[in-house]
Amino acid sequence: MSLPRTLGELRSSAFSEERSRARSVKDELRDNLVARLRSHSDAPVFPGIVGYDDTVVPQIINAILSRHNFILLGLRGQAKSRILRAMTTLLDPQLPYLAGCEIRDNPYAPICRRCREEIARLGDATPIAYLTANDRYVEKLATPDVTIADLIGDIDPIKAARGGHELGSEFTVHYGLLPRANRGIFAINELPDLAGKIQVGLFNIMQEGDVQIKGYPIRLALDVALVFSANPEDYTARGKIITPLKDRIGSEIRTHYPATVEEGITITAQEAWTRRNGHRLHLPKYVQEVIERIAFAAREDKKIDKRSGVSQRLPISAMENVISNAERRAITNAEKLVVPRISDVYAALPAITGKLELEYEGEMKGADFVGRDLIRAAIAKTYDEYFTGANLQPVVQWFDLGGEIQLSDSVPALEALENLKEIQGLADKLSPLGVSQKESPEQQVSAAEFVLEGLHAHKRIGRNEERVFKAGEKKPEPREREKTLEREEGPYRQRRQFN
C-alpha cells in the first residue's frame, strides 16, 4: 500500500483520523506502550536490555504512562544510552510531515510560517513526506561548549540578507537541535556537563512547551519528549544539574549493574564480538564466569573508586581479548578449535586495567597488580562453584613431591596435554566442568589449567610469572616462626606472638 504524497491524499487516508491528527508524541508513546502491554507478548518492552525487568523497566513504563520527561541516573556502562535509543520502538513506523520543513511540521497544524504559507498557496497539492521511528530520535552529548544556538537556534543574518527579510522574521531563523526534534524524542546524554546557563534554556520547553529564539517575538510550540542521562559522579567532578531543571524533570530513574553473574554473562554474550570469521570457537562456561566475576570483584574492592563504578564494558572488552589471544594461539599452532584458557584471561589485562579508577592504595600497588588480584579472586570464586567438596589432594601431593609443569598461553594443546597427563589424578577431576578424556585436547587443556589455577588461587600450589606450576610455599610452624623473627628483629625488640 502506497503512502499519501499530498495533503489532499493524506486527508482522505487512515492518517486523517482525529486521534492521530491531534495526538502528541508523549500520547503516541503512551498509546503504543499500552498496546504492547495488553498484547502479553513474551518480547521485552525494550529489546536488548538485560537485568532491569524488575527494577528499571517498570519505572520507565510508569514515566511513559505518566507522560513524563525523565532522566536515567547511573554510573558508566549501565545501558543508559541503549535504553533511551530503545524508546524509538514505541513510536509509529511512519509519521507524515510537510515536505521540506526543517522542524517536521504537522500537516494538520503547522507551527512555522513557511509551512502555513505553503499550505495557503498549494492547498491539497502540498507535498507530504514521512519520518521513520529512527528519524524521530535526536541525541546530543552535552559538553561545556554547547551554546543556546546549538540547542534552540539563532538568527542567521545571511538568510536575512539573501531573502530581504527583517531580522525578526521567522524566515531568518537557523533552527537548533531541539526544534529539529519536533514531534520526536530529544535525548541529552551526560546532562551535568551542560553549562548552567544553557540548562536554563530548557525551562520553557519542559514547562510551557515552547521555545524562544534570540529575544525576538518568535515562539514555537514544539511537541517533544525530553529524556536525559547523567552520571552521579559528574555532579561534583564536572558540573551539576541546576535545581530548577531537576524540578521540571518528571521522573528520576536509577540504573544499576547486573545483580547476578548470569545476568552479566548474558549481557557480555550479547555485546561482545565472539562470532569470528575464522576458527570454530568453544567458549567454556567457567571462563565466562571468571571474566564476569572480575567485574563483580572490582566493584567490591576497596582499592577501586566506587564512585566511578566499574563499567560492564570491562568484561565485554576482556572477553574479546581473551578470545583473540586463544585465536592467536590456534592460528600459530594450526589448531582448528579455539578454546580460551585462564592464561588468556591474564593476557587480557590491557582490557581490564584501563577501566579501573584506583584509590590511593590501588595507585600505590599499580594497576597490573590490582588487575591480577582481581583475576585470582574471580578464579577462586568460580573454582569453588565447581569443586567445593572435591578431593584434589592427589594433585596437590604430586606437586608437593617435586612435580612441576609449565603452561604458557602459547603452548600447543597436544603438547600441553601430554605434560598434564603426568599429574596424578588430574584427568579424573575434570568431570564437574563437563569435560572428559573423550573431549578435544584443547578443551581438556583448558579445563585442567582452570583446576591448577584454582588451586593456585587458594594457595594450595604455587605458580611463578613464567607460568610454572609447582609446590606451594609451606608456612613454618608457630615456634619456628618465632625463632625466625627473633633472629631478624634482634634480642632488644619485642617478640611477636603467633596464634
Query: What pLDDT is recorded for position 483?
Result: 52
Give residue 253's pLDDT.
Answer: 95
Give the C-alpha separation, 83 to 155, whole Å.
Answer: 35
Query: Which pLDDT belongs to residue 53?
Result: 92
**pLDDT on residue 496:** 41
pLDDT at residue 347 in the model: 95
Question: Residue 499's pLDDT band (boundaries 50, 70, 90)?
Answer: very low
Query: Is residue 410 scored above 70 in pLDDT?
Result: yes
* Rounded average pLDDT over 410-427: 92
> Measured between alpha carbons, how far is 308 from 357 in angstroms, rounded to an integer?
7
State mean pLDDT over 205-221.
Answer: 78
| Entry pTM | 0.86
Contact in structure between 388 and 380 (CB atoms under 8 Å): no
Q: Provide the pLDDT confidence category of residue 375 given band limits of 50, 70 and 90.
A: very high
Angle, CA of 472, 473 and 475, to the nearest 5°: 130
Average pLDDT, the chain: 88
Over the stretch 296-332, which tens digit does the pLDDT of each residue have?
999 999 999 988 889 999 999 999 999 999 999 999 9
Give residue 160's pLDDT. 66
Are 146 and 195 in contact by the 8 Å Cβ rule? The answer is: yes
In this prediction, residue 497 carries a pLDDT of 43
Q: Residue 213 — pLDDT band, cuts 50, 70, 90?
A: confident
Q: Which of these ranges, 18-27, 106-115, 180-189, has the smallest mean pLDDT?
A: 18-27
Across the beta sheet with 224-230, what order do the strands follow? Answer: 137-141, 184-189, 224-230, 70-73, 251-254
* Most trustworthy range by pLDDT among 152-156, 343-347, 404-408: 343-347
Measure the CA–CA gap between 234 and 245, rounded to whole angstroms: 16
φ and ψ at residue 173, rounded to 5 degrees: -80, 135
Is residue 416 a contact partner of residue 407, using CB atoms and an 8 Å limit?
yes
What's the CATH superfamily of 7-254? P-loop containing nucleotide triphosphate hydrolases (3.40.50.300)
> So what's the pLDDT on residue 130?
95
State the amino acid at position 85 in one-letter form: R
What is the percentage of the chain residues whose pLDDT exceeds 70? 89
Q: Which amino acid is at 153?
A: G
Q: Give the residue extent of every domain in the chain.
A: 7-254, 261-471
Among left, alpha and beta (phi > 0; psi -120 to 50; other), residue 143 is: beta
> Would you place residue 494 in the very low, low, confident or very high pLDDT band (cuts 50, 70, 90)?
very low
Q: Is the pLDDT of residue 82 over 60?
A: yes
Residue with cell 518568535: 218
Q: Sorting pLDDT into bands at 50, 70 and 90, what band is 167?
A: low
**Confidence grade of residue 282 (pLDDT, cut at 50, 70, 90):** very high
Model confidence at 288, pLDDT cuts 50, 70, 90, reads very high
